[in-house]
Amino acid sequence: MDGETQNTLLVKIPKTWVIHSLRIVIFACILLLIRLEARTRKQTFSDEGNTPILLQHLEIFDGATTLGPASASSGLHPVLDQNQRVLGYLMATSPEADHLVGFSGPTNVIIAFDSDLKVTATEVAWSRDTREHVSEVNEASQFWMQFVGLSWQELAGMQDIDAVSGATLTSLTIAESIILRVGGDVPSLRFPEPMTVADIQSLYPDAQKLVPSKIYKPGWEVLDENITLLGFILSTSPESDDVVGYQGPTETLIAMTADATVSRIHVRKSFDNQPYVSYLNEDWSWPELFKDLTLDEVAHYDLEANGVEGVSGATFTSMAVARGVIRTAQRVHEKPLLSEGTKTNNWKLTSADYGTLGMIFCGVLIASTHLRGIGWLRVVYQFVLIGYVGFLNGDLLSLAMLVGWVQNGIPWNTAARLVVLVGIAFTLPVATKRNVYCTHLCPHGALQQLARNRLKFQFHPGKNLKRLLLLIPIGLLVWVIVVAMLALPFSLVDIEPFDAYLFRIAGWSAIAIAVLGLIASLFVPMAYCRFGCPTGVLLEYFRRTRQSDRLHSADAAAFALLILTISLYWA
Ligand code: SF4
């Protein structure tokens, strides 16, 4: 190597890393802004007090000019006119009711009282629930009118609420928040239907009568036609109404024998995704999760220590059901045990974790050694990857997942294998020049590799068409940023095909993208990977190549995305 070449290398090597560091910084800044935006949205008023928000609602009172300090006992702020006369009072339901979650978050409601402490108005100050549901509730004047004119005590004692059709859960949560804020016991507004024999017939075929239990409150004794005790029934509502699965709470019945051991659990009603919920009662083993345990044993049951992973395809819903049952058992025993959060802090690997981690190890090994040249090994590995990692475990990296993690935190304890997968996917392209995730770890990429050149007719797009097609994934990245920064009520899983691998619960959009992408791959090699996948574009952007020592059009696009994110943040 002559001196001139050496000098060139000395210049080029640092330049590559400078440019790559710049790319990482751009990406990190975008993530940071998404995170900051989400945190700003999540901040409760405990940070800054409700006063600024309450001041925005002074117009409820004619002639109101300012707000007095909150009463230490009730939290009511007097509303004052220019002569400092009290016109009425204002209070907000946050942060006291922040744990009451509708479809996707709590709602802070402003309650206005007149000087006789009768409600004059109730309004939503902010909500982290689904926007469409909140606007449905906002427009339902009948819903709000049921609170107007009630005294503090009447409000606290409210039991019958007329929910807003089409936004039942959100409206009931708002009502619960109001009742809770004025000190009332939160009644079971979400599952108010009285228990009937028909509800428990599948659990006790001989049941003829239900009477309130003297032992379990609230609970029922199940009697046959001879008034013989068949067992006991407990409901997880309202105790566990705030345990949300995929998108809502579930009322579960705990069926017990006359000897006071659990025989089955059974979902009675749920606001969760219906396909997920129906799996639970139909699953062969899930209803018997706590079978033969006493309530005391259920109260002490540790799901993680017992390796409970939920029902495949309905993991969030089933785990929420199990936690609701445990919470209810703890309540019945009036022995609050470890909080949910404390319990899940144990870092335990499941068999699915070991399986996917093993596949990651094999994938990285094959990708980085001469093994990748062995044709039969590659095909066997691809089939296992598609079947096990894809269809069975559903372990695919997606932008929806990444954005969720950035906004809500990384689930180190519950999704260890995905955390490793993401780590490998983003570090190896920089460190080794190989995009190992796309070539050896993505089940959808493997499917396209298997579909490659299967048909005689192959279409190879020209340069201009390629440039045009590449705008698709970039456009999708723009959409991801817009959705994340503006908290639009749009599910990002619908712009990628990866949810289709959990086909029992997948939406039509993900399935359609997956199927159409695969069909296209039969005619255009790796069509979806090359021209449709925003995740792939992102990973490829980080891959070191021979051209990594210079800036190119992808850097301009990344910079434009950063500017977009900054603009949305400041806007
Ligand atoms: S480009 Fe997308 S679909 Fe293709 S392998 Fe990469 S992540 Fe998977």
Cβ of 438 less than 6 Å from ligand 1: yes
Position with higher pLDDT, 339 vs 476: 476
Share of the chain above pLDDT 90, in %: 38
Pocket test for ligand 1, best of 440, 444, 480, 543 (most atoms within 8 A of CB): 444
Tell whether the model's pLDDT for residue 44 goes beyond 50: no
In a domain, 163, yes or no: yes
The answer to whether residues 169 and 219 belong to one domain is no
Tell whether the model's pLDDT for residue 126 goes beyond 50: yes
Pocket test for ligand 1, best of 402, 438, 539 (most atoms within 8 A of CB): 438
Cβ of 184 less than 6 Å from ligand 1: no
**Mean pLDDT, the chain, integer:** 83
In the chain, what's the furthest Cα-to-Cα distance? 102
pLDDT of residue 103: 65
Tell whether the model's pLDDT for residue 468 goes beyond 60: yes
Mean pLDDT of 3-10: 47
Position with higher pLDDT, 430 vs 218: 430
Between the CA of residue 281 and those of 202, 286, 311, 326, what are the distances in Å?
A: 11, 7, 10, 18
The answer to whether residues 498 and 391 belong to one domain is yes
pLDDT of residue 520: 94
Main-chain phi, psi angles of 488, to 5 degrees: -70, 145
Cβ of 444 less than 6 Å from ligand 1: yes
Centre of ligand 1 to C-alpha 529, Å, is 5
The answer to whether residues 400 and 478 belong to one domain is yes
Cβ of 442 less than 6 Å from ligand 1: yes
Between the CA of residue 481 and those of 267, 475, 485, 557, what are the distances in Å?
A: 38, 10, 6, 13
pLDDT of residue 189: 61
User: Final residue of a domain: which of 181, 210, 242?
Assistant: 181
The answer to whether residues 162 and 254 belong to one domain is no
Q: pLDDT (tens digit, 9 = 90+) per residue, 60-113?
A: 999 999 888 877 667 788 899 998 888 999 999 988 887 777 766 678 999 999
Tell whether the model's pLDDT for residue 340 goes beyond 50: no
Position with higher pLDDT, 414 vs 38: 38
Domain tally, the chain? 3
In a domain, 144, yes or no: yes
pLDDT of residue 281: 77
Q: pLDDT (tens digit, 9 = 90+) per residue, 256-312?
A: 998 889 999 999 888 776 667 777 877 778 899 999 998 888 988 888 788 888 777
Centre of ligand 1 to C-alpha 446, Å, is 9
Q: pLDDT (tens digit, 9 = 90+) per residue, 396-428?
A: 998 988 887 787 667 665 567 888 999 999 999
Q: Which atom of ligand 1 is nearest to the CA of 537?
A: 1
Share of the chain above pLDDT 70, in %: 86
pLDDT bracket for residue 474 (50, 70, 90): very high
In a domain, 45, yes or no: no
Is omega for the bond preceding 212 within 30 degrees of 0, making it cis? no
In a domain, 188, yes or no: no
User: Final residue of a domain: which of 307, 322, 343?
Assistant: 343
Position with higher pLDDT, 566 vs 346: 566
Cβ of 533 less than 6 Å from ligand 1: yes
The answer to whether residues 454 and 534 belong to one domain is yes
Residue nearest to atom 2 of ligand 1 (CA): 536
Tell whether the model's pLDDT for residue 529 goes beyond 80: yes
For 133-137, 164-168, 364-368, 430-434, which range has the lowest pLDDT when averaged over its residues?
Answer: 164-168
For 154-158, 236-240, 513-517, which range has the lowest pLDDT when averaged over its residues?
Answer: 236-240
Pocket test for ligand 1, best of 424, 526, 529, 530 (most atoms within 8 A of CB): 529
The answer to whether residues 334 and 245 belong to one domain is yes
The answer to whether residues 397 and 511 belong to one domain is yes
In a domain, 3, yes or no: no
H-assigned helices in 413-452: 416-432, 436, 443-451
Tell whether the model's pLDDT for residue 560 goes beyond 80: yes
The answer to whether residues 218 and 283 belong to one domain is yes
In a domain, 23, yes or no: no
Per-residue burial over 223-239, b if 16 or more Cβ lie within 10 Å, else e, is: beeeeeebbbbbbbbbb
Cβ of 386 less than 6 Å from ligand 1: no
User: Final residue of a domain: which of 320, 343, 366?
Assistant: 343
**Closest among 514, 540, 539 to 527, alpha carbons compared:** 514
The answer to whether residues 408 and 534 belong to one domain is yes
Instruction: Determine the Cα–Cα distance for residues 370 and 380; give it in Å rounded to an integer.
Output: 16
Helix, strand, coil percentages, rounded to 5, for the chain: 50, 10, 40
In a domain, 363, yes or no: yes
Containing structural domain, residue 241: 197-343
Tell whether the model's pLDDT for residue 25 goes beyond 90: yes
Q: Position of tokens 């086909």?
A: 503
Tell whether the model's pLDDT for residue 8 goes beyond 50: no
Mean pLDDT of 503-525: 87
Centre of ligand 1 to C-alpha 135, Å, is 37
pTM above 0.85, yes or no: no
Centre of ligand 1 to C-alpha 536, Å, is 5
The answer to whether residues 323 and 397 belong to one domain is no
The answer to whether residues 401 and 336 belong to one domain is no
Instruction: Determine the Cα–Cα distance for residues 46 and 96; give it in Å rounded to an integer.
Output: 9
Q: Quick one: tokens of 178?
A: 């109001």
pLDDT of residue 440: 95
pLDDT of residue 47: 40
The answer to whether residues 202 and 306 belong to one domain is yes
Q: Quick one: tokens of 328?
A: 């209810």
Mean pLDDT of 462-488: 91
In a domain, 186, yes or no: no
Instruction: Determine the Cα–Cα distance for residues 56 and 85; give it in Å rounded to an integer.
Output: 19
